[in-house]
């Protein structure tokens, strides 16, 4: 199998992976910006490689994003540090053409120097993604090599391709040049791979962490007594409290679908006036050190099970990417899941396909002060059902819409969903399965959790209205990449239980 054939396999995968098209260019595009600086100086104090956390709400950003950051010797204002970002130029491209040209490598990109606050605005503020700043140890002559490299290549157009000529590969190329090490091209380059690269990893120190703005705001919102404050005049608040309230509520009502009532509108207007009389400000960019952990995207699982008839079976599953409930969610969002090219098969007296997904994405973000969007599902693939007491495999499009709620600080999350699945049923014909569903997720700890679901899929070509399906999964994450699982399923008179292990692997 030659190199070009493998590349076209990956192009096929990415065709499904970069959906929706409208969000495709949100991560790494160059749509023009105000001039910040046209060149770097080698007298900077520190170089960082910055990892913007995964953003499963946009599949094009699901692996995260990498860019470089220099801390000047003469500036303590983090927001004005120089960010060096490799981005594709899509100013003259439509969404569809950007997708196609990005897949086959017909886009051009270059390193752009931006003030760091613009990156914070795009990733932390708008997309609620954590930022991880990894200090890179450089010798004096390596600082000069880095400066020369960026200044020499910054204005030059270079090929951009989603799979291997992207932000991660260009950052890796730059650092290999700085360290005077040869860079080897790969078929697929992910941000996680760059952070774990043997040449680069040994130069990295413990990262600084900037919590996403939404989480910071939610903390402030929780700490402050909202009701009491609206009943109080702004004069009764300290100036720092005024700024906290003003920034929190302006962010809240400018960036969510929440309707602002007249009392809050008046409160914000008074705060604006009070704050404008003072030069004080409130720092929303907290720099703390924090351990960085992220699991590998691929996964292989094996489990042993049996049913009420005493039949034993083996369940083998494999996934190319990226994240679901079974995985550790320290760096990935806790309630956003996305699987690409996953396959689950049962082996007993015969081999049968349990599930197959080309692409399957779920968002179960709970409704709160900062999120009023619905929960949803979108999948292309197939899964096994019991319809009319017949074991059937349904293939097609799987969609769902609903709401999710959390209590006990997100330790208990539940979702109410209505799924409508236009599918082709094995040995039958095209139809639609309507499936109301209740899902519950309980996090006993960060690594020990339980998922439970009850649904009633209704096959529109059948008169059968009661078809209850129960399933549960108990997960213990031993570490970032190894998990123990126990699954229980019941469908009418069919009951099965299985236990096994899942191991994540890199590409």
Which range, of 108-122, 141-155, 178-192, 241-255, averages the lowest pLDDT?
A: 241-255
pLDDT at position 240, please?
Answer: 65
Mean pLDDT of the chain: 80
Residue of 22 and 101 predicted with greater confidence: 101
Q: Is the pLDDT of residue 297 over 50?
A: yes
Least confident of 32-46, 55-69, 276-290: 276-290
Non-local CB neighbours of 189 within 8 Å, separated by 6+ positions: 163, 164, 166, 168, 169, 172
Query: What is the mean predicted confidence (pLDDT) over 155-161?
Result: 83
Cβ–Cβ < 8 Å for 83, 154: no
Lowest mean pLDDT among 122-126, 310-314, 441-445: 122-126
Residues 6+ apart with CB under 8 A from 99: 15, 18, 21, 24
pLDDT of residue 138: 94
pLDDT of residue 259 exceeding 70, the answer is no
Residue 25 pLDDT exceeds 60:
no
Asked whether 67 and 51 are in contact (CB, 8 A), the reply is no
136 Cβ contact partners less than 8 Å away, ≥ 6 residues apart: 46, 47, 48, 49, 175, 200, 203, 204, 205
The predicted structure's pLDDT at residue 123: 84
In this predicted structure, which of 208-222, 339-353, 377-391, 466-480 has the lowest mean pLDDT? 208-222
Tokens representing 47? 């170089």
Q: Are 250 and 364 in contact (CB under 8 A)?
A: no
Distance separating alpha carbons of residues 85 and 423, to the nearest angstrom: 43
pLDDT of residue 400: 96
Task: Quote the pLDDT of residue 233.
Answer: 59
Does 342 have pLDDT greater than 50?
Answer: yes
Q: Which residue has the tokens 């001039």?
A: 35
Tens of pLDDT, residue by residue over 318-331, are: 999 889 999 998 88
Residues 283-309: what's their mean pLDDT? 81
Q: Residue 500: helix, strand or coil by DSSP?
A: strand
CATH architecture of 298-505: Beta Barrel (2.40)
- Check residue 375 and give its pLDDT: 92
Spatial CA neighbour of 132 closest among 291, 25, 323: 291
Q: What is the pLDDT of residues 425-440, one digit of tens each?
A: 876 678 899 999 999 9
Q: In this predicted model, which residue has the larger pLDDT, 251 or 353?
A: 353
Torsion 81-86-91-93 (CA) sign: negative
Q: Positive or negative, the Cα torsion across 105, 106, 110, 115?
A: negative
Q: Where are the domains of the chain?
A: 3-210, 213-285, 298-505
* Residue 499 confidence (pLDDT): 97
φ/ψ bin of 64: left (φ > 0), alpha (ψ from -120 to 50), beta (otherwise): left
- Computed over its alpha carbons, how large is the radius of gyration of the chain? 25
Question: Which tokens hold the place of 364?
Answer: 């179960």
* Reported confidence tier of residue 481, pLDDT bands at 50, 70, 90: very high
CB atoms within 10 A of CB 222: 12
Query: What pLDDT does residue 369 have?
Result: 58
Question: Using an 8 Å Cβ cutoff, are 148 and 73 in contact?
Answer: no
């Amino acid at each position: 199998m030659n190199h070009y054939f493998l590349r076209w396999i990956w192009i096929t995968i990415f065709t499904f992976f970069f959906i929706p098209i409208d969000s495709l260019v949100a991560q790494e595009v160059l749509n023009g910006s105000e001039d910040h600086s046209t060149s770097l100086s080698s007298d900077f104090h520190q170089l960082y490689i910055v990892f913007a956390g995964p953003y499963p709400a946009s599949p094009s950003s699901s692996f995260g994003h990498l860019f470089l950051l220099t801390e000047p010797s003469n500036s303590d204002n983090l927001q004005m540090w120089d960010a060096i970002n490799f981005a594709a130029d899509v100013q003259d491209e439509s969404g569809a053409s950007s997708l196609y040209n990005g897949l086959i490598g017909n886009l051009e990109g270059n390193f752009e120097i931006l003030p760091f606050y613009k990156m914070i605005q795009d990733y932390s503020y708008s997309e609620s993604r954590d930022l991880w700043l990894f200090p890179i140890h450089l010798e004096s002559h390596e600082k000069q090599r880095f400066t020369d490299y960026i200044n020499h290549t910054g204005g030059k157009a270079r090929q951009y391709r989603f799979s291997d000529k992207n932000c991660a590969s260009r950052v890796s190329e730059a650092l290999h040049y700085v360290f005077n090490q040869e860079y080897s091209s790969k078929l697929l380059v992910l941000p996680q791979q760059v952070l774990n690269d043997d040449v680069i990893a040994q130069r990295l120190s413990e990262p600084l962490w900037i919590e996403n703005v939404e989480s910071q705001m939610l903390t402030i919102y929780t700490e402050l007594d909202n009701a009491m404050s609206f009943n109080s005049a702004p004069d009764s608040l300290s100036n720092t409290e005024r700024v906290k309230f003003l920034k929190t509520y302006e962010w809240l009502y400018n960036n969510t679908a929440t309707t602002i009532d007249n009392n809050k509108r008046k409160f914000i207007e008074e705060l604006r006036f009070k704050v404008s009389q003072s030069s004080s400000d409130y720092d929303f960019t907290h720099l703390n050190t924090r351990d960085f952990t992220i699991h590998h995207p691929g996964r292989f699982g094996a489990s042993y099970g049996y049913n009420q008839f005493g039949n034993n079976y083996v369940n083998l599953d494999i996934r190319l990417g990226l994240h679901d409930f079974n995985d550790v969610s320290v760096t990935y969002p806790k309630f956003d899941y996305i699987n690409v090219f996953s396959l689950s098969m049962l082996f007993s007296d015969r081999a049968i396909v349990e599930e197959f997904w080309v692409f399957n994405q779920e968002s179960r973000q709970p409704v709160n002060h900062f999120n009023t969007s619905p929960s949803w599902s979108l999948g292309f693939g197939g899964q096994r059902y019991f319809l009319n007491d017949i074991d059937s495999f349904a293939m097609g499009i799987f969609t769902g819409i609903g709401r999710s709620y959390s209590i006990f600080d997100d330790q208990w999350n539940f979702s109410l969903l209505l799924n409508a699945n236009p599918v082709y049923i094995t040995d039958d014909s095209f139809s639609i399965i309507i499936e109301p569903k209740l899902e519950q997720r309980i996090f006993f700890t960060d690594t020990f959790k339980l998922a439970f679901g009850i649904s009633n899929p209704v096959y529109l070509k059948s008169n059968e209205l009661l078809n209850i399906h129960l399933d549960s999964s108990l997960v213990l994450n031993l570490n970032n990449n190894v998990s123990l699982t126990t699954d229980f399923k019941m469908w009418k008179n069919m009951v099965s239980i299985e236990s096994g292990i899942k191991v994540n692997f890199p590409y």
